[in-house]
């Protein structure tokens, strides 16, 4: 006997909308044409709530909540684009740019980068924070792919797609804070990995130039993110 899902009513940006009680604020907002910026979220992958770009205001709750991780409730009143949120999102993006070495002019994903596009969307004109200029290595040991830690924003999309979609779990995260970085297997060179299947899914879900395919020119580095909903749907059909 299948359990029924209750339909509830909430308010998003002064507009009443209906939703299923198990949906997130982000899902409901998108269904109703409300755009909430995200960097780590990607349809087809389990949300992680790491980037904090999608935080929203919920009436009666003093702290900001990540829209991708917060389940809707009856009568909830959500604000997605206040001046407070706009300022916060700019600050978050500035921290992304200042933490690593994002030099767009020499990046393989220049013009096809979600971080670059997001900066344009939120009208980020410059970075107020001091750049850290960390010494980040480039792992070019793989015969097909390159991992450039200078461009990584630790969104974990690559880790999740490798685990949840490909089932290899070749990629993971080591360290904490600004010391955190993506690793392959037990922190060995990617070219020495015995678990990598060469599928390339990690490259196509990467929002920046941190993961690229060898031999690709800038104009060829557009990512195929739409493959995930298709692969997820096909797996559900088979099970």
Contact partners, residue 87, CB within 8 Å, separation at least 6:
none
For domain 104-238, give its CATH number from 3.30.70.20, 3.10.450.50, 3.30.1490.190, 3.30.200.20.
Answer: 3.30.70.20
CB 144 within 8 A of CB 122: no
Q: Which DSSP string do the residues of 177-201 spell out, in sequence order?
A: GGG-EEEETTTB-GGG-SS-----H
Contact partners, residue 66, CB within 8 Å, separation at least 6:
49, 52, 54, 55, 56
Question: Can you read off the two tokens belonging to residue 11?
Answer: 């308010």
Sign of CA dihedral 4, 6, 160, 43: positive
Residue ranges, CATH 3.30.70.20, the chain: 104-238
Residue ranges, CATH 3.10.20.740, the chain: 7-81
CB 98 within 8 A of CB 130: yes
**By CB neighbour count within 10 A (0-12 exposed, 13-18 middle, 19+ buried), where does 192 fall?**
exposed
pTM above 0.75, yes or no: yes
- Per DSSP, helices labelled H in the chain are 25-31, 83-99, 114-121, 157-160, 201-205, 227-238
Query: Given this model, what pLDDT does residue 75 score?
Result: 97
Nearest CA to 184 out of 204, 164, 165, 163 is that of 163
Give one word for 169, left, alpha or beta, with left for phi > 0 and alpha for psi -120 to 50.
Answer: left
The whole-angstrom separation of Cα 36 and Cα 52 is 11
| Residue 18 bridge partners (DSSP) | 9
The whole-angstrom separation of Cα 173 and Cα 182 is 5
A 10 A CB-CB count for 170 gives: 20
Query: Given this model, what pLDDT does residue 228 score?
Result: 63
Question: Can you read off the two tokens belonging to residue 53?
Answer: 């770009």
The whole-angstrom separation of Cα 239 and Cα 233 is 10
3-class DSSP state of 58: strand
Query: Given this model, what pLDDT does residue 1 score?
Result: 44
Query: Given this model, what pLDDT does residue 219 score?
Result: 52
Q: Which regions in the chain score pLDDT beneath 70?
A: 1-3, 216-239
Question: What Rg do the C-alpha atoms of the chain give, in angstroms?
Answer: 19
Instruction: Tell me yes or no: is domain 7-81 CATH 3.10.20.740.
Output: yes
Query: Given this model, what pLDDT does residue 99 score?
Result: 96
The whole-angstrom separation of Cα 79 and Cα 15 is 10
């Amino acid at each position: 006997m299948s359990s029924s899902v209750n339909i509830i009513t909430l308010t998003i940006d002064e507009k009443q909308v209906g939703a299923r009680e198990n949906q997130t604020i982000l899902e409901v907002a998108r269904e109703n044409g409300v755009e909430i910026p995200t960097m780590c979220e990607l349809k087809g992958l389990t949300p992680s709530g790491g980037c904090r770009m999608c935080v929203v205001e919920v009436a009666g709750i003093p702290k900001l909540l990540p829209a991708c991780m917060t389940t809707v409730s009856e009568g909830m009143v959500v604000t997605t684009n206040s001046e407070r949120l706009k300022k916060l999102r700019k600050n978050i993006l500035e921290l992304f740019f200042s933490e690593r070495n994002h030099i767009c002019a020499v990046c393989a994903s220049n013009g096809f980068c979600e971080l670059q596009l997001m900066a344009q969307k939120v009208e980020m004109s410059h970075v107020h924070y001091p750049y850290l200029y960390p010494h980040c290595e480039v792992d070019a040991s793989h015969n097909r792919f390159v991992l450039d830690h200078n461009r990584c924003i630790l969104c974990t999309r690559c880790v999740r797609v490798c685990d949840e979609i490909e089932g290899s779990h070749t990629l993971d995260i080591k360290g904490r804070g600004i010391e955190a970085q993506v690793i392959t297997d037990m922190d060995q060179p990617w070219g020495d990995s015995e678990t990598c299947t060469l599928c390339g899914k990690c490259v196509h879900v990467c929002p920046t130039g941190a993961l690229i395919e060898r031999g690709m020119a800038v104009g060829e580095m557009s990512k195929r993110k739409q493959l995930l909903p298709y692969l997820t749907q096909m797996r559900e059909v088979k099970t």
